[in-house]
Chain A
Amino acid sequence: MKGKESILVVDDDLDFLKIIKRILENKNYEVDTAPSANEGTCRLKERFYNAAILDISLPDADGTELLSRCLDIHPDIVAIMLTGHSSVQNAVQSLNRGAFAYLEKPLDTETLLSVINRGLEKQRLVLENRSLMEELEQRNRITNTLLSVSQAVSESLDLQQIVDSSLEKVAYYTGIKASFIYLYENDRLVLKGTHGLSPRQSAQMAKEIQKDSGIIWRIFRQAKPIIIDDFTNLTDKNLEPLKKKTRQSFGGIPLSILGESIGVMGVVTSDTNHEMTDNNIELLTGIGREITIAVRNAQLYEAASSAKALQELDNMRTEFLANVSHELRTPLAVIKGSANSLLQSDVIFDESTRQYFLQSIDKDADTLTRLVDDLLMMSRLEAEALEVKRKLCKLSEVIETIQDRLDNLTVKHQLQVNIPDDLPSVNIDDIRIGQVLTNLVENAVKFSDDNTNIRIEAESNDKDIIVSVTDQGSGIPPEIHEKIFERFFQGNGSKAGRRKGTGLGLAICRGIIEAHGGKIWVESQPDQGARFTFSLPLN
């Protein structure tokens, strides 16, 4: 039940004031009286009255003038004018200016009470309509705001963009300047963004909030908003950076949907216009829901993308296993088939064919050995357990030790080696670097036609020696220049009749060169050959 309705009576007849006060108080109205227009005005400025009974002729002012002031201050007030016989004209004027009724003196009590009653009844209807209207407008505003926020935050699938644009929209639509968002990650809340804080405040905000610590965590866990009208005296270290000397309110809104919390949005305001009213909390909670949906979508998208990346890696591994199986079984098939052929009793092969079988066995046993070495090397690189036994040596010596192997590889190509005599010695594992060069030459052979040139060259600058292997083969499209150094990657375009490889060669090269502190890269265009270069630091 609402409180009593209040009535102000202004009349210079003090006895009249007394009587009427008693009559009205008996009818359970709250009554104030004033003997002059000035005093009446003061009362009106102090508080709201539901009704005012104003004498039309006052010593210090015309009653209609007081009526105007009264309606200026309280447009909804029920104003009843009291007149003598002589001033009916004035009374009519008063009605035109907005008075509810006029009554002639001497007053008939019944008539007065009935007029007051009707006036207040009408006022109640007006006020009720107005508040319904206001509520409708507020709903409308909330709905529109939510729609705008929802549109704004759902435009992106990037988590950071969503957080930033959410805080911006909160400021734009609610007028709240300072805000922040924490999101739940691995059993703690992580600060994802702030808006309207000074750089110092931002820097002081806790980057992470551990489990069960402070108000922010509580909001997250309970998934309910918490409002603190004045947090100047509150001791919560997570809110400390936000404090100012003046009074400030804090609102913590859970970012949650269907009972599942994903984080907390906090807003701080010192502006009394933006105090945390019920409507504001409702609006912020609604905005929180929209942010939650957008963040959830972004997180799901991220999860799906990383699942896709894992799936890709898994596919590469599966393909790798199939390739390794193929690569192992092919030389094994040659070895077994050749040995088996020699053992068959139904056919006697001539001497040269027998020789050929033996050579095949010999050659593919070597192939198998290299393959096993590659696999071992890769697993060492993956375990970061590659040992590099450095010693000071000349590149020309390294090449000398692998010369036979290089000659074998390039029987159908022209191999040119061009190493300057004054190339400085370098501190390297000669066997490993020999492996890199062999691998690069092997690739060059694999991807270029017979009778083309393959060049090994070297130069030096202050810091490095730089070694390159250049071929005139099918080249490499720029979009896979990085990818070819990834393990398991298989390029297309090796010539028919050649074995495919494990997709490990260049990954191994990169592993070895990086273990030496150097770099390896490729320059190539399709059909224009390729140049693989690596650097080895002199120190």
Chain B
Amino acid sequence: MDKKRILVVDDDTAILRLLSTNLKARGYEVLTATDGEEALETVQKEYIDLIILDIMMPKVDGVQVCRHIREWSDIPIIILSARGDENDKVKCLELGADDYLTKPFGIAELMARINTAFRHRGDASVAPAQSSFTCDGLEINFAKRRVTVKGKEITLTPTEYALLQQLAVNSDKVLTHSMLLHSVWGNEYSSEKEYLRVFVGRLRRKLEPDPKNPRYIHTIPGVGYHLATS
């Protein structure tokens, strides 16, 4: 199997080197960029499997990089930020980042999050037994990882897809916050409720005819979510 390529973007060379050393030691191929502009150039030129992106950078900052990339690509993005502000976190997730890690961080934690991102990207083992799901205009073809609403194809990021798949496979069952966080992201995310809120919001904006009055994904306040077939 080919090595997975990770682009690490940070304006601090010490961080860049720390990350490259660790990623390379774990079998990844690593590209680096020291500012947003360079990052965008690299993403356009090279094939990249995942991006680890710093927020505070000269020229084009991480938030803008994230926004630009999401305009044309669903490549997984893990934000690595020196700002611990909850608002920043939600903002980045809203913009389409898949994950958000605050500096300082543990190497094992970072590796786990990279694995989660790759898992969402289509590890065959998580594909469900059924081949498709249909509900009132929403169709999911699990084999092809293809989603359409009233015949129109919808582009989802891997994490969005993983969340939708989980809801669809368990349609009409209420899935609690912790069940969803555990099954879609992993054990270490059990307290990250805002991830769920943001990603459900992202899904609704892409799938629902009226995101404010959702037809498919319903909120059960204080408990969790369910995808209703009728």
A interface list, Cβ under 8 A from B: 322, 325-326, 329-338, 340-341, 344, 346-347, 349, 353, 356-357, 360, 363-364, 492, 494, 496-500
Contact = CB atoms under 8 A, between A and B. Distances in A.
Contact of B84 (A325, A341, A363, A497): A325
A329 B14 CA distance: 13
Interface string B52-82: 0000111100000000000000000000001
Given A330-B12, A338-B18, A357-B18, 9 more contacts: A329-B82, A332-B103, A333-B103, A337-B107, A344-B108, A349-B25, A353-B21, A497-B13, A497-B16
Contact of A360 (B18, B56, B103, B104): B18
Contacts of B19: 337
Contacts of B102: 329
B106 interface: yes
A360 B25 contact: no
A496 B35 contact: yes
Contacts of A322: 56, 83, 85
Contacts of B11: 496-499
14 contacts: A325-B82, A325-B83, A326-B82, A330-B12, A331-B14, A337-B105, A338-B18, A344-B107, A346-B26, A347-B26, A349-B21, A494-B58, A496-B57, A496-B58
Given A325-B84, A341-B21, A353-B21, A332 B104 contact: yes
A336 B56 contact: no
B22 interface: yes
A333 B56 contact: no
Contacts of B135: none
Given A332-B103, A340-B108, A341-B107, A497 B82 contact: no
A330 B15 contact: yes
Contacts of A329: 82-84, 102-104
Nearest to B109: A340
B34 interface: yes
Closest 6 CB pairs of A and B: A333-B103, A336-B104, A329-B82, A326-B82, A333-B104, A329-B103
A331 B18 CA distance: 11
B228 to A, nearest CB: 42
Contacts of A363: 14
Contact of B18 (A326, A337, A346): A337
B79 to A, nearest CB: 13
A497 B8 CA distance: 13
Nearest to B108: A344
A326 B83 contact: yes
A499 B83 contact: no
In this complex, the interface size class of chain B, counting residues with CB under 8 Å from chain A, is 20 to 34
B96 to A, nearest CB: 22
B26 A337 contact: no
B61 to A, nearest CB: 12
Interface in B97-122: 102-108
Most A CB within 10 A of own CB, among B12, B57, B59, B102: B12
B14 A360 contact: yes
A350 to B, nearest CB: 10
A328 B171 CA distance: 46
A497 B9 CA distance: 10
Contacts of B17: 356, 360
A334 B21 contact: no
Contacts of B16: 497
Nearest to A328: B82
B26 A497 contact: no
A418 to B, nearest CB: 32
A346 B27 CA distance: 12
B12 A356 contact: no
A347 B104 CA distance: 20
Given A322-B83, A349-B21, A353-B21, A330 B103 contact: yes
Contacts of A325: 82-84
Contacts of A326: 56, 82-83
Interface string B162-201: 0000000000000000000000000000000000000000
A336 B21 CA distance: 14
Contact of A356 (B21, B35, B108): B21
A205 to B, nearest CB: 56
A326 B104 CA distance: 10
Contacts of A333: 15, 18, 82, 103-105
Contacts of A349: 21, 25
Contacts of B58: 492, 494, 496, 500
B52 to A, nearest CB: 12
B21 A335 contact: no
A347 B105 contact: no
A347 B12 CA distance: 24
A497 B12 contact: yes
A338 B15 CA distance: 9
A435 B219 CA distance: 58
B105 A336 contact: yes
Contacts of B108: 340, 344
A96 B51 CA distance: 112
A337 B107 CA distance: 6
Given A341-B18, A356-B21, A330 B106 contact: no
A335 B85 CA distance: 21
Contacts of A357: 18, 21
A496 B34 contact: yes
A336 B12 contact: no
B26 to A, nearest CB: 6
Nearest to A344: B107
Contact of B106 (A340, A353, A498): A340
B16 to A, nearest CB: 8
Interface string B123-165: 0000000000000000000000000000000000000000000
A340 B111 CA distance: 12
Nearest to B58: A496
A168 to B, nearest CB: 54
Contacts of A334: 12, 14-15, 18
Nearest to B12: A330
A501 to B, nearest CB: 12
A341 B22 contact: yes
A325 B58 CA distance: 17
Contacts of B104: 329, 332-333, 335-337
Contacts of B34: 496-497
Contacts of A500: 56, 58
A334 B19 CA distance: 9
A360 B22 CA distance: 14
